[in-house]
Every structure is written in C-alpha cells, then in structure tokens.
Structure 1
Amino acid sequence: MKNRYSSKDVDTYAWFRNASEHGDPYAQFNLALMYRRGKGVERDDRTAFTWMRQSALQGIAFAQNHLGAMYYNGAGTPADDTEAVYWFRKAARQGDASAQQNLGLMYRKGRGVPRSDEMALTWFCRAAEQGVASAQSLLGEAYAQGLGTKRHFPLALAWFRKAALQGDATAQLNLGLMYRRGHGVLQSDTQAVAWYRQAAAQGLAAAQRHLGVAYAEGRGVPADLARACSWLQRAADQGDVDAQFNMGVMLSNGYGVRKDETQAFIWYRRAAEAGHMLAQYNLGGMYAHGRGIERDPGEALQWYRKAAEQGAANAQFNVGVIYANGHGVAKDEACAVAWYRNAAEQGDASAQNNLGVMYANGHGVPQDDGEAVRWYRRAAEQGHPLAQYNLGGMYASGRGVDRDSVLSYMWISLAAEAGDETACSNRKLIERRLTREEIGSAEQMTRRWRDAHGA
C-alpha cells in the first residue's frame, strides 16, 4: 500500500518530534498541529492536546489560544469552558488577536464567564484594531445592535467596511443590509445587492438568500424570479431555514420554477422541523387541504399548533376552528374559544368574528351579547364582511346594543358591498322597513365609513 503521507511531511514530523522532546516550545506547537491535522502522522487529538499544552505552559501565545480552542471544542480533552477562557485570556493578554476575539466571543455567549456585552466589546476592539477582519465584523455587529454600547450606525458601517474590504463574507452581508435599511448611509438597494453578491459568491447562505429575495422583489436589480429561485436554492441546500421556507413559497406558487406542491411540501417540512413559524403554518395548510401530501387532519392540527404556540395569529385561528368543529380531534368549544381569543387579541379579524359567534351562542363561554357585539365590532371595523353582517344583525334585533335599524342597514350594506350574499338579501328586507330619510342617513354613514377605512 502506498504511504499516504508525503516524504516531506514525514521528515518534518520527525524533526519537530525530536525538537519537541528536547523542550522546544515552537516545535511542540507545530508537532501538535501535525497531530491535529494528520500530516506526517496519524491524526490524534489526545497527543495533539498533550504537546499543545506543553507549548502553552512555556508561554507561547498562539499555543495558548489553540489550547483554549481545544478545551472549547472538547478536542483531545473533555470540553471545559472555564479552562478555555483561562487560556484564551493568557494569550489575549500577550496581544494575540485571535485569542482576543475568542475571549470576546466567550463573554458574548456567557461561556466560562458571566455574559457581558461590554467585556465582549472590549476584546473585539483590541482584535479589530490589529486588523482581524472577523473581529472587525463582530465589532460592527456590536455597534449596529447596541451590544455593550450605544447603537452607533456610522461606527458599525465603518467597521463592517474595513472587514468587507478584507473579504469577510459576514461583514459584506451586513454592509449590504446597512445599505438596504439606510442605517448610517444613504439607502441604496443597488449597493446592498453589490455587497450581497460578494458574500454570496463566497458561499454565505444568508447572503445568497438576501440576493434571492432582491431578485424576487426587484430591489436593486431587475426582478427575475428564475434567478431568485436559483439563489434561494443554493442557500436552502446549505440549510438556511428562511431560504427553505422561501423555496416552499416559490414551488407552491410556481414563481420562477415549475409549480410543484410535492417539492414545496418537502421544503416547508424541512423549515418547519427547524422551528420556522410560517413554514409550520403553511405545512399545516398542506395537510389540511391535501396539497402536496395526502390530507391528514391530525398532522394539520399538529403543525398549526406548533405555529400557534409561537404566536402566529392565523395558526391560532385555525387551531380554534379545528377544535370548534372537531376536525381530526375531539370537539372542544372551550379550547376553541381560548385559541380564538389568542388570535383575536392580536387583531386577527376572523378570530374576532368567531369569538363573537361563540359569545352570541354561548359556545365554550357563558352566553353574552355584549361581548359578542364587542368582538364583532372589532372585526367589522377591520372590514371583515361576516362580522359586519353579524354586527348588523345585532343592531337589527337589539342584542347587546340598542335596536337601531339605521346602523343595522349600514353594517349589512358594507357586508353586501363586500359580496356577502346573505347580507344582500337581508339588506332588501331591512330597506322595506326604513323611511327614505333613514335610508339616506344610513347611506351617508356607509360612505363615511368607506372614506375613513378605504374601499
């Protein structure tokens, strides 16, 4: 069998081994790297750790930094954040820029030390001032987000630019986002796309996703759904959850690609399993309606519920509907009311209307016409046709409000104009009981409402 190590590597290993055994700390460091990388010798993290520690104990800063990383990653030794911090700090105090950045990250994450954005900022500054691009990028993030300091967009922009010009992909993406949002710089979608493109070319998934979205929306580039899909696919293939969701959207609608709900289901599922709220909601819809997958009410409820528990109002509404009707689950009107209320309090008009229905009929809650009117009104004011019709009905019968045929006519007219067929029929019945003056008043009120709320 041919030796898998080059003769040069084998000779180098022998030289470092001999010098290491004679106590040379630089040789010990290099020997440790050869064991870590499997160059000239079988890869062996334990032996690498032993030699790295000997070099670190002799005060070699870059060995101390590497030793800290081995403790952090549990390479050749059990993972130990406290030991990692100890060695990062020893190297950082000697001016090792990589160790300074690593120590800053330990403070930002609160690993081995109490979490402190202020201390993280201090160490990022020291590394950034030595020209380390990744530290400059981290420092830019601190100023952009106000981590350990006041938010300062011009400083964030300056540090991002320094790192971006050195080729740091994360900084290039962040610089693009600064231009996209107009933070610390004149807003420019064209400049944003230029920086996204540089980061995307380096394979940064988030940049590929942002570039895909730019093509989809025609921001900074001519709209091109095929190119959008191409960039989103690259990001999704790397595991970018938002891009996976977007691929689901593209495939389910045939945007820039042949419509394929089976493939859309696969992408939604991947994103949903990673916790993406909107993907969970859309996946629930696919199971509920049998799109891209066989209809399964139980699975629909499971995914709607996951999104609902993350706060998605439309998912909360759908969970309420499922419990109210007993679709794939035992009917539970009290549970339905609870989910409707969660969505209604977030402003979901359909949930507000349904909550009104539950109060009006005493389903899952004590019957209460006043509460029914309150929820119908909130939905009706948002332009929900069924709620407008229901509110009109409450005015017509004097339930929860004083009977008022004019207001009844107004709300039912609005529902009829929105296409509610029952409202169209009932408006004619109410109209027969009104005087010409009352009809004129109701029509004037209807026009005022439309003017205030839009068509």
Structure 2
Amino acid sequence: MKKIFFSALLFVSTACFSQYSELLLAAAERGDVGSQFHIGTAFFQGQGVAQNDAKALQWFRRAAEQGLAEAQYNVGQMLQKGRGAAQDNAEAVQWFRRAAEQGLAVAQYDLGVNFAEGLGVAQNDAEAVRWFRRAADQGSVKAQYNLGLMIDKGRGGKQGDVEAVQWFRRAAEQGLAEAQFLLGIHLSAGRGVSKNYEQAYFWLLLAGAHLEKSRDARDLVQRHLSSSQVTETQSRAAAWKPKQP
C-alpha cells in the first residue's frame, strides 16, 4: 500500500501565558478546562514560559480528562511521538478514540492510521476504513486520499475503482498532489472513470509541480493530445486553485 500520511500538528490556543499567567493558573487549578488547555499550549510552544513537554502533557491531560476533544487529541499525539512521556501507542489510540467519537476529524483520521498500520491496536483494515470514511466525510483531505487507497486496493472491504476515483478526486480538488497523481493515472487508464487524456494531463500537470514521479506519466499522456489541447490544458492548470474543504 502507498504511504499513509500522519498528522503533524497539535491543536493550540492563542492565549498569551505571560500576560495572564496568575489568572490562568488559578482558573486551571479550579478546573477550568479552557485555562488548562491554554497552559498546556504555553508549555508546549514555550509561550511566556520555558518550553516543557512534560508540563504541556500534564495540562493537556487534565483538560482531556474533562472531555475536551482537542486536548484528548493532543495527549494522543504527544504519547504517540514520545513527547513529555515515554512513547505509548496503545494509550495514544485510547485518546484518539475518545476525541474521534466526539467527531473530531483529525482524531478520526489518526485513529484510522493506527488501525491501518497496527500501531497500539490490532491491525484492522475494516476499522481503518470506517474511521477514514468518517473523517473524509468531514472534508479531511488526507482521510479522503487514504480512503481512496484502501478502496483501490480492496483493503477493509470490496475493491472498487469507481469509489476510489471519487475519493481521489475530492482530495485532488483540495490540492493534494498524491491524489492528483492517482486521479490522473486512473483517467489515463480508464479505471473507475471514462478514459480522458485531456483531464489526465490536467491533473498530472498539477501533481507534477510537487511530485517528480508524476512528470513521466504527464509526458506520456501529452503524446495523446494535440498542441492546442496541450496549450489549453496548461492554461487551465496555471489558473487552477484548490477548493476549500
């Protein structure tokens, strides 16, 4: 299976710890979940206080235990990366699940990744597909791409070129180069969609701006087009902008 992407960013607040440190600490100690989250952010980013992963994790955990989905996700991310505590994929999965069940798309995606790769949980393609789909339905571009990959390979359910192409297209329209590349390949081969060299060339042009592997496929497809088609498609690609999720 092609590479599955991992989320890299935590949720953070914009509060300035140095300006409100005493008030925030007092509120956090009283159990105010927002203040706990803000303090966790301050220690995680080193905002107005010395950067300290262990203290960041401590405060994110306190907010997470009160049910804040973003804090639950942050705890999962930190445990998965071994920041602030020993790496613990199994506990990370537990926190991803709690946030995912509240509808947090990025947690749903990461939970899908863990099931697909067997990280901290028994490998389960059907569960991976289920969580990728929930995140993809909310517009997560990486979930859309990975769901397309799973369906394209028949992992976690019936193989289906048509549905795979639909998910590749949704991710491609948001600007994900890997999805643009695979959409172009399917269009050029007529897999799951009517063969269309002009559209294939368009998507491979876009992908080629970021993926070297797309350029050879783009050049092969170009041979099937007239010079006017090449010029027109290049103009469309130059003016193209990704959709917002």
Q: Under TM normalisation by the shorter chain, which class is it? A: 0.7 to 0.9
Structure 1 runs not aligned, ≥5 long: 1-212, 218-223
Q: How far 1:228 sits from its partner (Å)? A: 4.2
Q: In the TM superposition, what are the counterparts of 1:198-209 in structure 2 within 5 Å?
A: none
- How far has the Cα of 1:308 moved from its partner? 0.4
Asked whether the equivalents of residues 301 and 322 of structure 1 are also in contact (C-alpha less than 8 Å), the reply is yes
**RMSD (CA atoms):** 2.1
Deviates more, 1:392-401 or 1:424-433: 424-433
Q: Which structure: greater helix fraction?
A: 1
The Cα of 1:373 is off from its aligned counterpart by 1.0
**Cα pair distance change 1:322/1:230, threshold 3 Å:** same
1:338 and 2:130 matched: yes
* Equivalent position amino acid for 2:231 in 1: G
CA deviations over 1:70-109 (Å, ceiling 9, x no partner): xxxxxxxxxxxxxxxxxxxxxxxxxxxxxxxxxxxxxxxx
- TM-score computed with the length of structure 2 as normaliser: 0.86
Structure 2 residue runs without a partner (length 5+): 1-12
> Which residue does 2:5 correspond to in 1?
none
TM-score by length of 1: 0.48
Q: CA deviation at 1:292?
A: 1.2
Q: Give, in angstroms, the shift of residue 282 of structure 1.
A: 0.7
- The 1:394–1:239 alpha-carbon spacing in structure 2 relative to 1, beyond 3 Å, is same
In structure 2, do the counterparts of structure 1 residues 439 and 278 end up closer, same or farther at CA, with 3 Å as the change threshold? Answer: same
Shift, 1:236, TM fit: 1.5
Q: Does the Cα contact within 8 Å between 1:319 and 1:336 map onto a contact in 2?
A: yes
Deviation at 1:301, TM superposition (A): 0.6
Q: Letter of the 1:339 partner, please give it.
A: W
8 Å CA contact 1:298–1:329 kept in 2: the answer is yes
Q: State which of 223, 227, 235 in structure 2 corresponds to 1:436.
A: 227
Q: Larger relative CO (CA 8 A, sep 6+): 1 or 2?
A: 2
Task: Quote the Cα distance in structure 1 between the aligned partners of 2:204 and 2:43.
Answer: 40
Alpha-carbon distance, 1:376 to partner = 1.1
Q: Note the 1:41-440 alignment, pairs <5 A.
A: 216=14, 226-417=18-209, 419-431=210-222, 434-440=225-231
Equivalent-residue separation in structure 2 for 1:425 and 1:328 (angstroms):
38
SS of 2:240's equivalent? Answer: helix
Cα displacement (A) at 1:441: 2.2
Alignment of 1:449 with 2:240, yes or no, is yes
State the Cα distance separating 1:449 from its structure 2 match: 2.4
CA distance 1:291–1:416, shift in 2 (3 Å): farther
Q: Is the 8 A contact 1:229 1:250 kept in 2?
A: no
- Amino acid of the residue matched to residue 26 of structure 2? R
Looking at structure 2, the residues matched to 436 and 397 of structure 1 have their Cα atoms a distance apart, in angstroms, of 21
- Number of paired residues? 232
Q: 1-side partners of 2:160 and 2:149: how far apart?
A: 10
Distance 1:435 1:225 in 2: 61
Aligned equivalents of 1:402, 1:229: Cα separation in 2: 60
Q: Quick one: distance in 1 between partners of 2:205 and 2:131?
A: 30
How far the C-alpha of 1:439 sits from its partner, in A, is: 2.1
CA drift of 1:320 comes to 0.7
Percent identity between matched residues is 42
Distance 1:425 1:288 in 2: 37
